[in-house]
Chains A and B, each alone.
Chain A
Amino acid sequence: MKAPKIKLMEVCGTHTMAIARAGIKKLLPDTVELTVELVSGPGCPVCVCSQSDIDRAVEVSRIKDVIMTTFGDMMRVPGRRGSLEDMKRKGSDVRVVYSSLDALNIAKGNPQKKVVFMGIGFETTSPTIAATILEAKKQKIRNFFVLSNFKLIFPALEALAGSKKNKIDGFICPGHVSVITGSIPYEKVAKRYKKPSVITGFETIDILKGIERLINQIKNREYKVEIAYKRAVKKEGNPTARKILGSVFEASDSEWRGLGIIKKSGLKLRKKYRDFGAETRFKVKIPKTRKMRGCACGEVIQGIKSPRDCKLFKKTCTPQNPVGPCMVSSEGSCAAYYKYG
């Protein structure tokens, strides 16, 4: 009899790194009775950012009197004209911040400048930026702007679950996105597409528990959502955070690297907060997108290819000289494979 082959996707980039660091892939069964394979998903916000979103941030950073602020991971992602780090080297004022509140404080301290926050992230991060925008409005800070490149994970999960290109048997669901969203939105993916889904924590033992529960569901032909990270995730999530997010942003179509445009998978500012939108405040000409030759990031994000299948991996593409975002981000699959093998 042919051995059951189970393919699980870890959706979150933080899981990708934790799995690589702990060497979990090497521990998984690979026998005649059972083979379990783990593939990485689209949960690294830097990696799924579209090329034009990166190019827009680079162009805005070159405008006079702009201070560009962003999370550290974004600095080295190559755009057509170079990365934000390159622009900093050439004289643009680009600063790494830990929180969007730090960017707001920079705006407060530099009223003559225009402070732009390059916003990326999933449901874990976007409510923090929504709260910062509410604070900016309350304090009447008018020189703070946000580039809204936020993504919603569920439309992407549905796209992957329904895709014929990659046959995923179950999802290791992102623990910290779920702190905000709760477990209910996963029900649709689990039921409609028959994909067992387990919300998992980030310690080695959490991940092993998550994998065990997925294998059990697959064995028993069950398709349900389980929370294996109960110390942090509640079924109802964090309703306050979701309310704040929904008051500032609304869903919009968004382009993902590798996945293309997914309906209602991004966030744009609601009319009341449009003055904080950097896209409308700074009209920039974005260079025409050209696919980076040989770069397989688009396929890696979908779990179709492993970083090792990419021709550039460890050759022209290294953490010192990254070609694609999956090698730049500390959570990218290529960076994880490079560092931990």
Chain B
Amino acid sequence: MCLAVPAKIKSIDKKEALVDFGGVQKKISLGILDGVKIGDYVLVHAGFAIGKVKKAEAEDTLKALDELKEVSKYESA
């Protein structure tokens, strides 16, 4: 229920934005989040952007995930 998916802001029209979920595009509301710019990453929940996601931190986690993959490769070898 509290699932929220990160998406990139493509365009903004007043309180509405077009976002990209890695290929799938959808219109969402910016009604409960201020200060959103084109190119920002936001978390989308039930048709609304609820918060911004920091790109550098997101990449940090992705890097950690990659490291984990390396470990499991080593362990299964």
Decide: A203 and B34 in contact? CB cutoff 8 A: no
Looking at the assembled complex, report how far the CB atom of B40 sits from the nearest CB atom of chain A, in whole angstroms.
12
B2→A124 contact, CB < 8 A: yes
CB distance from B24 to the nearest CB of A (A): 13
Q: Is the CB of B4 closer than 8 A to any CB of chain A?
A: yes
Give residues 13-64 of B contacting A (CB, 8 Å).
29, 31-34, 43, 45-48, 50-54, 56-58, 60-61, 64
B65 proximity list for chain A (CB < 8 A) = 203-205
Question: With a CB–CB cut-off of 8 A, which chain B residues contact A179?
Answer: 4, 43, 50-51
The answer to whether B4 and A124 touch across the interface, beta carbons within 8 angstroms, is yes
B3 on interface, CB distance cutoff 8 Å: yes
A33-55 interface (Cβ within 8 A of B) = 43-46
**Complex Cα distance A159/B36, Å?**
37
User: Does any Cβ of B come within 8 Å of A265's Cβ?
Assistant: no
Q: How far is the CB of B37 from chain A (nearest CB, A)?
A: 15
B50 touches A238 (CB 8 A): yes
Q: How far is A232 from B60 in the complex, measured between Cα atoms in Å?
A: 13
Contact, CB under 8 Å: B61 / A203 = yes
Q: Which of B1, B33, B47 contacts A238 (CB 8 A)?
A: B33
Contact yes or no, B32 A14, CB < 8 A: no
Asked if residues B47 and A204 are in contact (CB atoms below 8 Å), the reply is no
Known: A99-B48, A122-B2, A204-B68. A131 touches B57 (CB 8 A): no
Q: Is the interface of B mostly helix, strand, loop or mixed?
A: mixed
Q: Which listed residue, B4, B34, B53, B60, touches A240 by the CB 8 Å rule?
A: B34
A18 to chain B, nearest CB (A): 10
Chain B residue with minimal CB distance to A47? Answer: B1
Q: How large is the interface on B (under 10, 10 to 19, 20 to 34, 35 or more residues)?
A: 20 to 34
User: Is the beta-carbon distance between A241 and B3 smaller than 8 angstroms?
Assistant: no
A288 within 8 Å of B (CB atoms): no
A136 to chain B, nearest CB (A): 12
Q: Report the Cα distance A72→B65, complex, angstroms.
A: 31
For A203, what are the chain B residues with a Cβ–Cβ distance below 8 Å? 61, 65
Bound form: Cα–Cα A123–B32 in Å: 12
Closest to B1 in A: A45
Give the complex CA separation of A204 and B43 in angstroms. Answer: 18
Asked whether, in the complex, the Cβ of B32 is within 8 Å of the Cβ of A131, the reply is: yes
Residue of B nearest to A127 (CB): B32
CB of A327 to closest CB in B, whole Å: 15
Known: A201-B61, A203-B65. A124 touches B47 (CB 8 A): no
The answer to whether B46 touches A100 (Cβ under 8 A) is yes
Q: Nearest chain B CB to A95's CB is how many angstroms away? A: 15
User: Contacts A127-B32, A176-B3: A99 and B47 contacting too (C-beta < 8 A)?
Assistant: yes
Chain A residues with Cβ below 8 Å from B46 are 71, 98-100, 121, 125, 128
**What would 30 A/B residue contacts be, using CB atoms closer than 8 Å?**
A12-B2, A13-B2, A14-B1, A14-B3, A46-B1, A71-B46, A98-B46, A98-B47, A100-B46, A100-B47, A101-B47, A101-B48, A121-B1, A122-B1, A124-B45, A125-B1, A128-B31, A128-B46, A128-B47, A130-B32, A176-B4, A176-B43, A206-B61, A232-B43, A232-B51, A232-B52, A232-B53, A232-B54, A238-B51, A241-B50
Interface residues of B (CB under 8 A from A): 1-4, 29, 31-34, 43, 45-48, 50-54, 56-58, 60-61, 64-65, 68
